[in-house]
Chains A and B, each alone.
Chain A
Amino acid sequence: MRARGLVKTFGRGRAAHRVLDGATLDVRAGELVAIVGRSGSGKSTLLHLLGGLDRADAGTIEVAGERVDGRTERDLARLRARRVGFVFQFFHLVPELSGAENVALAARLPDAAPGARGRGLQLLERLGLQDAAGRMPHELSGGEQQRIALARALVNDPAVLLADEPTGNLDLAAARTVLDLLREVAEGGRAVVLVTHEDAATSAASRVLELRDGLLAG
């Protein structure tokens, strides 16, 4: 993953606030990069731009050799389906679907990767979620929910995994498990970018970058 000179401003006129001001980032396959910074520094915004959830005002982004910036919404959707996986702080599982169905959801999208369904079942087993698979989200612990979310993010075999405060809503033990899994994912050959403000999370990372004044510093 490569990002160059990312600029993002919120608001207009005197209320304008430039959150990113030329941020640059390189993440290689097999690397887990943690991005830290104070609240409101633009960490989540950076993650959204990297994953094509939002558009930068300036700068370029490349994921697995494909440009993210300048694409149509339809192309971006296809890119997200095949190349990018997301994990969120609040899990965002669909409350009406069981754990297994939440994982299978991403596999049923029109642009899902071939073999995604089978991979979903394997992921449930590999992440120790056999018991959780049949239960509804409100019946699961926070750690189980986040592992389900992780399985969902990986079901289409993405090249890049973007995690926004994945342990922010978990107890220590559950957070440890999730961080171990993220490291495993990175070691499996994916580029993982983790936004966090927790020390435990940074210690699991290959590199830690700080976002300050709209710029990333190592």
Chain B
Amino acid sequence: MRAALREAVALVRMGGRRSLLAGAGIALAATMLGTAITVSWSLATGFDRSADAADLPHVIARFDRQRLDDVSARLRALPNVEALSYRTEITRVRIAAGTGSTGRGVIEVLGPGRRGYAIVEGRDVHRGSDGVVLERGVAREWGVHVGDRISFGRFGADRVVGIAVGPDNVAYPLASTARVYVAGSDEGLRRFGVNTALLWTHDPARVDVTLQQARATTFGIANLRFVTREGVQVLLDEAAGIVLALLVAFSVVVLGAAGVMLGVAAHSEVQRRLETLGIQRALGFPRATIVAAHALRGSLVALPAAVLGLAVGALLAAGPTADLLVTLNELPPGAALLGPLALASVLTVALVAAASTWPALRATARQPVALLRGAELPGGVRRARVAISGPLRLGARLAWTRRARYAGTVAVLAVCVAVVALLLALASLLVTLRDDPATLGKRYDTVVALAPSAVPAVERIPGVLAAAPRMEVNGADSYALGEPVRLIAFPGDHTRFEDPPLASGRRLAGPDEAEVGAGLADALGLRVGGTLAAQLPSGGEARFRVVGIVRALETSGRVAYVRPDRLLAAGAPEATQVAVRSAPGADRAAVDRGLRALGAQPVAVGGATSSDASLLATLAALLRVLAGVTALVCLYSLVQGLALIALERRQTIAVLRAGGAATRTIALLLAGIVLAAAVPAAAIGLALQSALLAPLVGRMAAGYAELLPRAGIGQAALIVAGLLVLCAVAAALVAYRTVRAPIVAGLRRA
């Protein structure tokens, strides 16, 4: 082992620039890895981390204002309750501080007890002390710091003493309301009453039991709504969940791509040295020593490169990811990220060591004379089928003869192409999700707050194809009250207005039937023929027979399409909005004018994600970072592969130069080599993205819906053009380096 270590150190030292080059490649792949891990880990664990840090309650109960003692008496009697605290939420307060103001401010008057938010700057508020705690999103948006003044319209003004993160909602301005926390007293809350209760349970897994009991014992508390931690997460998902899931899924794919690249880079390093291996074998070096030396050499080069690359990747992604987390009211992972990064560095080193060991193992199994004869060309050279008609084709032919390396280069480039294609497709999909209601299966383009009786008048507006009252009721599953259910009801055929694709079963045909989203079906274990029992905010229950499962994207697929009859019978209020479907080519402005004439304010229907500009800008920054790293890896792979071939082919190049080939001819020859790999790689990469990665990412991000981030023709053309530019850059770089070397150096016997 000591001999192998000595040999490995010698290999690294002798390698000099080559070791540096190999290290650079590993560092680049590790950068991709670091970026992917930072994004996926931070986002995937963001909610749980923040909920734990903020001590988010297991259940939040909201109701019309009640006497504190009445509520407290009933909630204290519930089973499994560990702690309770109360708030009075005062809405529609004009708040102004720093550079901003809003009329949709919310003052949370806190009772004694646990808070459910995390202080990230300054201190918390206490009973009897001055000052307020401001939500971080508001503070950032308005440039407010601890110590600044804040005014609350008719409630006066105070000083900000702390900044907090409350992960029960996304942050302002993604959430439309700006929250301020002030300390209240028991006496104050008793006098004014409370409208929010926070419940912490002993056993969060049994929160269901607590909720069932709560339903039974809270009779008389008006407009009672429960939100569990899981429900909060679903609500957050509604804002950006699909986007986050897409990013996480993308990162997982990048992890795989980085693995392929690391493996190929390490493999090619050993391939370079096959002839030296032959000499060592001929001199009597034991096979085990040679193999161990290569494994150790790979590890010695990989360790610093992996650590550096992972650190750079993490730093590159940290900023945009932290911004994204802030937008979602979540906390950055901090030191918790070191664990997965350390594990990734260990795996990277192990992968490089394995990729170095395997070819060394195979090579040393061959006869030394075979290695000495020409490494990869043991039985002579295969004749290529393409006729030589110029340097480009000659280059292609030279590339094809090194089949193992050619396949490796094609694999790396194809993965790069596939990842970039996925990236561009994701960017397009994000825009579509934001802007296109059709992604939700919605076929109407406008909603207006009108009573159902106004539908005939709406339908008479020129340009309106159809209109219908739309009911939307947010309830919970009767058997699992922690599971939120959104019930959407249209009278008659709902597919005229919302038409998510049917995954199984059939469309609903009567008032006792329901089509449920695949997300809801998964969460509740529902199948066609089963029963959906929904607890409504009114306290009533509506039951439906499940006749179909649909791939709905809205609220993570936790929706059910029903007819309004049973909802109304269970006490749900009548529809308050009308969905308006414009005729193809209709003048939307004229339709809007017609709707305004009816006294309603038309609202354009958006897509599945938030239209918040800062969130999308942050996502765009993240995607740009990932794209930049991928393009760098691609360029590195091309230059490295080409430099290796130029090195091996120095005699051929020297003969060509001796025969009068100028720099341009050598550049064309090298371009032929890279194009031979790039052209099939582009085709394979695009096919890989379309046939495998797009469905894979779509399924990982939203298995409950049909989501296909598939690159379009324009994007494919852009990728191919970009790859050709990278090929040209790589060929020019290597040609410049090659012709700077003296011709006679290449003519010496290797």
Contacts and interface: CB of A to CB of B under 8 A. Distances in A.
A176 B630 CA distance: 59
Given A48-B744, A88-B747, A92-B651, 19 more contacts: A53-B743, A53-B744, A73-B663, A77-B663, A82-B660, A84-B660, A86-B658, A90-B749, A92-B654, A95-B377, A96-B401, A101-B388, A108-B390, A109-B661, A109-B665, A111-B660, A112-B660, A138-B380, A153-B659
Contacts of A74: 662-663
A135 to B, nearest CB: 10
Contacts of B383: 96, 98, 136
Interface residues of A, number: 39
Interface in B621-663: 651-652, 654-663
B389 to A, nearest CB: 7
B87 interface: no
| B interface SS class | helix
Contacts of A54: 742-744
A96 B398 contact: yes
A111 to B, nearest CB: 5
B73 interface: no
Interface in A75-89: 77-82, 84, 86, 88
B310 to A, nearest CB: 40
Contacts of B377: 95
Contact of A136 (B380, B654, B749): B380
Nearest to B668: A110
Interface of B: 377, 380-384, 388-391, 394, 397-398, 401, 651-652, 654-665, 739, 742-744, 747, 749
A159 to B, nearest CB: 13
A51 interface: yes
A200 interface: no
Most buried by B among A82, A96, A137: A96
Contacts of A127: none
A39 to B, nearest CB: 14
Q: Name the 10 nearest CB pairs between A and B, nearest first.
A: A81-B660, A77-B662, A80-B660, A138-B380, A53-B743, A92-B655, A106-B659, A95-B381, A96-B401, A86-B658
A86 B659 contact: yes
Given A73-B663, A88-B747, A101-B388, A51 B394 contact: no
Contacts of A98: 383
Interface string A123-148: 00000000000001111000000000
A27 interface: no
Contacts of B384: 96
Nearest to A92: B655
Contacts of A138: 380-381
Contacts of A105: 388, 394, 656, 659
A77 B660 contact: yes
A94 B662 contact: no
Contacts of A156: 659-660
Nearest to B380: A138
A77 B380 contact: no
Contact of A108 (B389, B401, B744): B389
A97 interface: yes
A95 B382 CA distance: 9
Most B-side CB within 10 Å, residue of A94, A110, A111 = A94
A96 B649 CA distance: 11
Contacts of B397: 96-97
A79 B660 CA distance: 7
Contacts of B658: 51, 53, 80, 86
Contact of B661 (A77, A86, A153): A77
Interface in A35-91: 44, 48, 51, 53-54, 73-74, 77-82, 84, 86, 88, 90
Interface string A18-47: 000000000000000000000000001000
A183 interface: no
Contacts of A104: 388
Contacts, number: 99
A53 to B, nearest CB: 4
Nearest to B739: A73
A152 interface: yes
B660 A78 contact: yes
A10 B655 CA distance: 23
Contacts of B749: 90
Contacts of B665: 109-110
A27 to B, nearest CB: 19
B530 to A, nearest CB: 66
Contacts of A112: 660
A90 B747 CA distance: 9
Nearest to A80: B660
A152 to B, nearest CB: 7
Contacts of A88: 655, 747
Interface string A204-217: 00000000000000
Contacts of A78: 660, 662
B174 to A, nearest CB: 60
8 contacts: A48-B743, A105-B388, A105-B394, A108-B390, A109-B659, A111-B660, A111-B662, A136-B383
B383 to A, nearest CB: 7
Contacts of A79: 660
Contacts of B389: 108
A74 B667 CA distance: 13
Given A54-B742, A92-B747, A109-B665, A77 B657 contact: yes
A97 B657 contact: no
Nearest to A113: B660
Q: Which residue, B377, B656, B657, B660, has most C-beta atoms of chain A within 10 A?
A: B660
Nearest to B397: A96
A179 B156 CA distance: 109
B744 A152 contact: no
Contact of A109 (B380, B652, B654, B660): B660
B398 A139 contact: no
Contact of A96 (B381, B390, B391): B381
Contacts of B661: 77, 81, 109
B379 to A, nearest CB: 9
A91 to B, nearest CB: 9
Nearest to B402: A96
Contacts of A90: 749
Contacts of A81: 659-661
A97 B388 contact: yes
Given A88-B747, A92-B655, A96-B397, A136 B381 contact: yes
A161 to B, nearest CB: 12
A141 B326 CA distance: 74
Contacts of A44: 744
Contacts of B742: 53-54
Given A136-B380, A138-B381, A110 B651 contact: no
Interface string A164-184: 000000000000000000000
A48 B745 CA distance: 11
A112 B391 CA distance: 13
A79 B401 CA distance: 31
Nearest to A86: B658
A106 B652 CA distance: 12
Contacts of A48: 743-744
A94 B652 contact: yes
Nearest to B373: A138
Nearest to B390: A108
A144 B659 CA distance: 20
A54 B397 CA distance: 29
A112 to B, nearest CB: 7
A73 B736 CA distance: 12
A169 B661 CA distance: 26
Contacts of B663: 73-74, 77
Nearest to B661: A109
B395 to A, nearest CB: 11
Contacts of B744: 44, 48, 53-54
Contact of A152 (B381, B391, B652, B659): B659
Contact of B660 (A96, A101, A106): A106
A109 B739 contact: no
